[in-house]
């Protein structure tokens, strides 16, 4: 069965925009000693541009493996995957590096910032690998940090920041190359609920600006920010529920948040607190 010949494949235009993620019957086997473990048993998934998708599932359901394959950190054992219309199986290692760099922004559960390195340098890093000139690099990194409300923390090192702030730096790093897809692996797993809501509000805003976001979570509260909720169990999709249309506003974002991004996101759980300062000078 050749997925390439499947009707409605990528690029076969029917007037609809090309999906960002197009997985067909993706299978992933792991060799653990002499045992072969099937982490994914045939996942077919299409994610449209501008969607905000939450993937839920118990641990061992294959959601991390799915994210790694979508993020080009791993390749499927069988099946096909088109990312932004490109068949990932045709890419070699250096092409995959370039794809990870330009088309995907990663946010990890444990932030994964580089220690002893300023927020600015961390955010500049993907641009460095993309070969952007130093001056542009700095401008774009500062803009990304301002977009997540950390314009006043650019010289701080990870150890000098709270978990929520570190995760916002990680989000800034993920969006700085202007990727078509933002992937987040339990982005709120290590955060308290206030920081968690802050980060999810940022994701909602980024999505509202037109970015495609796919995140993994096992918290229903986090999933409630998504436009579409997918559940995995034992390596297969068992539930795929659309909450709101792709073109509509993210469910937990109200109109007021849409106009301009303030430097600090007022978390939904702390609306009673006085508002924070305004946009800091760049």
Determine the Cα–Cα distance for residues 8 and 43; give it in Å rounded to an integer: 17
Site for other proteins in 113-132 (CB under 8 A): 113-117, 125-126, 128-131
Determine the Cα–Cα distance for residues 30 and 67; give it in Å rounded to an integer: 15
Strand partners, 46: 22
Q: 234 and 63 in contact (C-beta within 8 Å)? A: no
87: contact with other proteins by CB under 8 A: no
Handedness of CA 19, 25, 31, 35 (dihedral sign): positive
DSSP 36-98: EEEEEEEEEEEE-TT-EEEEE--TTSSHHHHHHHHTTSS--SEEEEEETTEEGGG--HHHHHH
143: contact with other proteins by CB under 8 A: no
101: contact with other proteins by CB under 8 A: yes
Question: At its nearest, how many Å lie between other proteins and the CB of residue 166?
Answer: 13
Question: At its nearest, how many Å lie between other proteins and the CB of residue 269?
Answer: 30
Instruction: Give CA angle at 60 (55, 61), nearest 5°.
Output: 40
3-state DSSP assignment of residue 202: helix
Report the residue from 94, 159, 247, 256 that binds other proteins according to the rule CB under 8 A: 94
Instruction: Give CA angle at 257 (252, 261), nearest 5°.
Output: 130
140: contact with other proteins by CB under 8 A: no
Report the residue from 50, 71, 76, 235 that binds other proteins according to the rule CB under 8 A: 71
149: contact with other proteins by CB under 8 A: no
Question: At its nearest, how many Å lie between other proteins and the CB of residue 247?
Answer: 30
| Nearer to other proteins (CB atom), residue 133 or residue 255 | 133
| Nearer to other proteins (CB atom), residue 101 or residue 204 | 101
Q: Which stretch binds other proteins (CB under 8 A): 1-9, 10-18, 90-98, 151-159?
A: 90-98
| Nearer to other proteins (CB atom), residue 30 or residue 192 | 30
Site for other proteins in 234-273 (CB under 8 A): none
Half-sphere exposure of 234 (CA within 13 A, CB side): 0
Report the residue from 173, 205, 228, 231 that binds other proteins according to the rule CB under 8 A: 173
162: contact with other proteins by CB under 8 A: no
* H or E element that contains 229: strand 228-233
Determine the Cα–Cα distance for residues 108 and 147; give it in Å rounded to an integer: 19
68: contact with other proteins by CB under 8 A: yes
| Nearer to other proteins (CB atom), residue 81 or residue 108 | 108
81: contact with other proteins by CB under 8 A: no
106: contact with other proteins by CB under 8 A: yes
> Could you tell me the end-to-end alpha-carbon distance of the chain, in angstroms, rounded to an integer?
55
Which residues lie near other proteins (CB under 8 A)?
Answer: 68, 71, 73-74, 93-94, 97-102, 106, 108, 112-117, 125-126, 128-131, 134, 173, 177
């Amino acid at each position: 069965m050749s997925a390439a010949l499947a009707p409605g494949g990528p690029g076969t235009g029917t007037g609809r925009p090309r999906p960002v993620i197009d997985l067909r019957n993706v299978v992933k086997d792991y060799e653990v000693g002499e045992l072969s473990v099937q982490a994914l048993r045939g996942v077919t998934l299409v994610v449209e541009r501008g969607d905000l998708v939450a993937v839920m599932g118990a641990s061992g359901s294959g959601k991390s493996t799915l994210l790694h394959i979508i993020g080009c950190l791993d390749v499927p054992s069988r099946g096909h995957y088109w990312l932004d219309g490109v068949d990932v199986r045709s890419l070699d290692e250096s092409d995959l590096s370039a794809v990870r760099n330009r088309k995907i922004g990663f946010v990890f559960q444990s932030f994964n910032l580089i220690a002893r390195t300023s927020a600015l340098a961390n955010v500049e890093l993907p641009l460095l690998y993309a070969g952007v000139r130093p001056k542009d690099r700095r401008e774009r990194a500062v803009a990304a940090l301002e977009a997540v409300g950390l314009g006043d923390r650019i010289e701080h090192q990870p150890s000098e920041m709270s978990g929520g702030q570190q995760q916002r730096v990680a989000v800034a790093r993920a969006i700085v190359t202007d990727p078509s897809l933002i992937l987040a692996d339990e982005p709120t797993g290590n955060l308290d609920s206030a920081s968690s809501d802050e980060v999810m509000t940022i994701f909602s805003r980024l999505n509202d600006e037109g970015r495609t976001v796919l995140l993994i979570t096992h918290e229903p509260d986090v999933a409630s920010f998504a436009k579409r909720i997918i559940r995995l169990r034992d390596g297969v999709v068992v539930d795929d529920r659309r909450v709101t249309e792709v073109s509509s506003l993210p469910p937990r974002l109200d109109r007021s948040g849409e106009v301009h991004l303030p430097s600090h996101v007022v978390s939904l759980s702390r609306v009673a607190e006085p508002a924070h300062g305004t946009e800091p000078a760049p």
